[in-house]
Structure 1
Amino acid sequence: MDQIFGSYALFEAQALLVGAFHVVIAAAVTAHVLMTKREVPAAIGWIGMAWLAPVLGALLYVGFGVNRVKRRARRLMGPDRADGAQITGDMASEDPLERLKGAIGKITGQDTATGKVVAILECGDQAYPQMLAAIDGAKSHVRLATYIFRADEIGLQFIDALSRAHLRGVKVRVLIDGFGGGFFLSPAYRALRRRGVPAARFLHSVLPWKMPFLDLRLHKKILAVDGETAFVGGLNIGAENVIAKRPKAPVRDTHFRVEGTIIRQIEHEFDDDWSFTTGEDPIGSDSAREAPAVGGSTMRTIAAGPDQEVDQLILVLLSAINLARHSIRIATPYFVPDEQLITALQLAALRGVDVHIVLPAHNNHRLVAWAALPHMRPLAETGCQLWLCAPPFDHSKLMTIDGQWSLIGSANWDIRSLRLNFELTVEFYHPGLAGRLTEIIDAMRFQPITLADIDKRPFIVKLRDAAARLSMPYI
């Protein structure tokens, strides 16, 4: 009997110890959440998980809820982004574009540059030949950053071109996301390293205590060559982007070739990420073009990422939507924005702005497609025009305001792009380009999404979509 009571007492002591440990850990998580999380729903969710899922909740928070790169921008801020930089744009002007220019300058802390889009490239069919030719013609330096870099037929062409440039003395730097480029193997990264090409994997480590996990991703798509030309947009490197080859899961996209002093800003974004990843100094820009491109216009890069004190891209989008007077055009593959942006679009439609949003009829991420549907009804109710574009899956990310201002780049309209990913977009103050992109977006409209379409979904489907919406911050 004494032995039984002794065992029970030991078990009780162990239970008390485990319980005390759980309370301490959960309390620590709660304190950290309260001090660092601005969004109330996210804070409540993490605190609830910490208390209701002993140990596991705390581990998940450490893995996915703690921002380990928040201060990167302050450590690596370059001279052209120093506090007090001169920002153009008159925020008191009667001209909405001047007010938008000034507002975005204040948000980003970056002045405008000049440049022009010399080519709007459809899919890899048009973009890849020009990108490969630019690498083969490089004389000084090549910077390439991408989320996906496959070692397939197309990827091998890029690996060969980058290797040739490296062998002839060009300073080549390649940055591949640690998750999108293949978490375990990353064949393209390994192939480049075997050939001696300086390449790195962004936020990647097999050591859990060194890895900021899969939450924070480099989603930028940058190719900058000799300070003379750059390619930006949403195009990854992979055979699925070459429509003419009839891949099994084709991806349609829109990419852009730009020239002008904007190239230096694009190079700076790459250098920032390269230095953070490798600890190395930038490769320099000795041949960067300082003169404006002939026929160029006002442009500016807008970086977004969890290293920023404010959600820059969200503020830029809100500023543009709120200043719209006539039209808003949006094309995006993933549309799961937060309530601020939904409300801004509703208010724009209510004040008479012609709002059109185009989404893919076929989406390569089914959960994202389900999560997008609950957003449709409030937008449709207030007069926003919602559309599906015909297959194949369209990965283009385009936005225009009033046929005067446009935004292109790597960012989607979802929480991951707006708050978790490292993204690069470029804004343009050029009516000709905005008009052309408006035409492209309008041509994508294939099938309207009506209130009747939204309401006629079976209850079980509506329930599924509403549940999928809860995963917004994680998909």
Structure 2
Amino acid sequence: MASVHYFFLEYWPHLAFILSLAVGGTAAIHAAMTKNDVRAAIGWVGIIMMSPLLGPFIYLVAGINRIRHDHISEQRNKNLKDYSGAQDAPLADVTDVAGPQFQSLRVLGDRISRFPLRDGNHIQTLVGGDQAYPAMITAIQNAKKSIALQTYIFDNDIEGRKIVDALVQAKERGVEIRVLIDAIGSKYSRPQIIRLLRKKGIPCALFMTNPLGFLRMPYANLRSHRKILVVDGHIGFTGGMNIRAGFVSAVAGSDMSSDTHFRVEGPVVLQLVSVFAHDWEFTTKEALGFETWCSTDWEAAEPQVPARCIRSGPDRYMAATHNMLLGACAVAQRHIRIQSPYFLPDQILLGAINTAARRGIVVDIVIPGRNNLRLVNYAMTAQLDEVIRNGCRVWRVNDNFNHSKLITIDGSWSYVGSSNLDPRSLRLNFELDMEVYSRDTAREIEALIDSEIAKADAVTLQGLAQIPFRKRLRNRVIWLASPYL
């Protein structure tokens, strides 16, 4: 025993060196072989080699995608496997409702989404919490058999507790309820709403609380940013809104933040149910049955439009939204409107936007003048010159923070939902968006975006150049870390 002790005392530097080579080399090889983005691969290999022991641990925690190879696929939920392929739900023809140039975009969506584009959907735009929350509560109060609710942030405030009260009343009527909240988003308020839900006997769960299997910690880079409410499998809500009192004028007053949500009826609701069901089963291992959670009655109010869900995330749907936006920029012929609270597209998407502008397409990009995330605002500012120099128009809104994520192309196609145009949303988060082929819906969204432009200042190259050098340097340094903001 003494000789073993002496051996370790004498040769521990050599053993540590060998261990660091083995661990660091293994981690570096894994990063090089599994990262599809060359910049990500170089970055991780650099971190690992610069710190051969600490680097691999950081890579283990934040760099390995454990979700992509999990069984989160349609085949996992046998009861819901046929929901989106129901033959009596009409397939959509986009030529008449949007224009012939969108046929290729529809094909792209077919291949990216694996959800069919269905006609017969009614979509109602809801602006802010003043419109969205009462509509959601009314739907919950009228529920007969099931309520599925998924959100990123569900604050334990006056508006959050109103929704909890409506859920409790529905439970007392015998309605089946499931509530799924992201583990990171649940921490935005104290005490967490999950405690109140459990106290009231509402079946609920937190998404991604224990991704490593041995550390009880939420995985900051794999968040569910999706917002879904489906009642009786027939009425759905989706968009960009979390559940927070700050979006209600009676509570927030002059400091109220803005956002946009959508109430939907029709076959697209089945797609919302499917996304929720897979996330719920992934989290809890409980499969949700078709009869309770879905509806075969797709009768919707007029007007009816073609729509489908686009799910994206670090699984089999990696970069789905990224690819849809590349396609949308390619088919644009007149006007692209983009409203995003966090505008930090990667170089590929920037290239598509800039190319559209150089083709003569009018590109309007609307961002908040007052951002709720200071670091993101700094990083955004560092990148704005790249789009302005190529002919895009960038507008900073002189008003309260607007959390809306809205895109329209040529007044015919709209893309709405939970995705921001930043690396976290486009690569790391689980997101849910909806593409809509409708001139009427596009006009509504264009009006919302144009109303923001009316109270905005144009960002110019001259204005950016006048920012003091120390602030421009700060912005560029923070921009380097933008994939992790």
**Aligned 1:58-457 pairs, distance under 5 A:** 58-71=56-69, 72-74=71-73, 76=76, 79-80=81-82, 95-182=100-187, 187-205=192-210, 208-209=214-215, 213-246=219-252, 250-284=256-290, 285-291=293-299, 293-308=301-316, 310-445=318-453, 446-457=456-467
Which runs of 5 or more residues in structure 1 are unaligned? 1-6
- Which consecutive unaligned segments of at least 5 residues does structure 2 have? none
Q: Contact conserved, 1:171 with 1:283, CA < 8 A, in 2?
A: no
CA distance in 2, matches of 1:465, 1:25: 35
Which of 38, 44, 47 matches 1:46?
A: 44
Task: Answer whether contact 1:104 1:316 (CA < 8 A) is retained.
Answer: yes
Q: Name the count of aligned residue pairs.
A: 468
* Secondary structure at 2:135 match in 1: helix
Other structure's SS at 1:68 match? coil
Q: Which whole-Å CA distance do the structure 1 matches of 2:483 and 2:82 have between them?
A: 32
Please list the CA deviations of residues 31-89 of structure 1 after superposition, one character each: whole Å capped at 9, or x if unmatched.
Answer: 11111101111111111111212322111111110001103443537535999x99877
Contact 1:333–1:359 (Cα < 8 Å) also in 2: yes
User: 2:449 corresponds to which letter in structure 1?
Assistant: I
Check whether the contact 1:233–1:255 (CA below 8 A) recurs between aligned residues: yes
Give the drift of 1:439.
1.4
Partner residue of 1:462?
472
Moved more, 306-315 or 433-442: 306-315
Cα deviation, 1:330-378, whole Å, max 9, x if unaligned, reads: 0000011100110001100011101000000000101111111122112
Cα separation, partners in 2 of 1:29 and 1:368, compared to 1, 3 Å: same
Separation of aligned partners in 1, 2:153 and 2:195: 14
In structure 2, distance between residues paired with 1:279 and 1:34: 33
Contact 1:115 / 1:258 at 8 angstroms: preserved in 2? no
| TM-fit CA distance, 1:283 | 4.2
d(CA) in 2 for partners of 1:288 and 1:470?
Answer: 49
- Asked if structure 2 preserves the Cα contact closer than 8 Å seen for 1:88 and 1:101, the reply is no
Matched letter for residue 81 of structure 2: P
Question: How many angstroms does 1:244 deviate by?
Answer: 3.1
TM-fit CA distance, 1:208? 4.4
- 2:234–2:298 Cα contact (<8 Å) kept: no
1:117 to 1:408, Cα distance in 2 relative to 1, 3 A? farther
Aligned to 1:4: none
SS at match of 1:464: helix
* Equivalent position SS for 2:282: helix
The DSSP-based 3-state class of the residue aligned with 2:220 is helix
Question: CA shift at 1:248, angstroms?
Answer: 8.6
The residue identity in structure 1 corresponding to 2:53 is V
SS at match of 1:213: coil
Cross-structure match for 1:37: 35
Alpha-carbon shift at residue 243 of structure 1 (Å): 2.5
Q: Which moved more, 1:184-193 or 1:354-363?
A: 184-193
Give the Cα separation in 2 of the matches to 1:14 and 1:88: 69
Distance apart, 1:288 and its partner CA: 4.3
Distance, in Å, in 2 between the alignment partners of 1:413 and 1:221 is 17
Amino acid at match of 1:47: V
SS in 1 for 2:186: coil
Counterpart of 1:128, as a letter, is Y
Scaled by the length of structure 2, the TM-score of the pair is 0.91
User: Measured at CA, do residues 247 and 187 of structure 1 come closer, stay the same or move farther in structure 2, by a change above 3 Å?
Assistant: farther
8 Å Cα contact 1:242/1:250 also seen in 2: yes
User: In the alignment, residue 477 of structure 2 is paired with which amino acid?
Assistant: A
The one-letter code sitting in structure 2 at the alignment partner of 1:307 is: D
Alpha-carbon spacing, 1:324–1:80, altered in 2? closer, same or farther (3 Å): farther
Distance 1:410 1:168, change over 3 A: same
Distance 1:443 1:237 in 2: 24
With 43-52 and 420-429 compared, the bigger mean Cα shift is at: 43-52
Helix, strand or coil: the match of 1:346?
helix
> Which deviates more, 20-29 or 250-259?
250-259
Aligned-partner residue type, residue 156 of structure 2: A
Q: How far apart, CA to CA, are the structure 1 residues paired with 2:135 and 2:300?
A: 22
Could you tell me whether the CA contact under 8 Å between 1:142 and 1:226 is conserved in 2? Answer: yes
Distance (whole Å) between structure 2 residues aligned to residue 224 and residue 460 of structure 1: 49
Conservation of the 8 A alpha-carbon contact between 2:205 and 2:283 = yes
The whole-number CA distance in structure 2 between the counterparts of 1:259 and 1:88 is 15
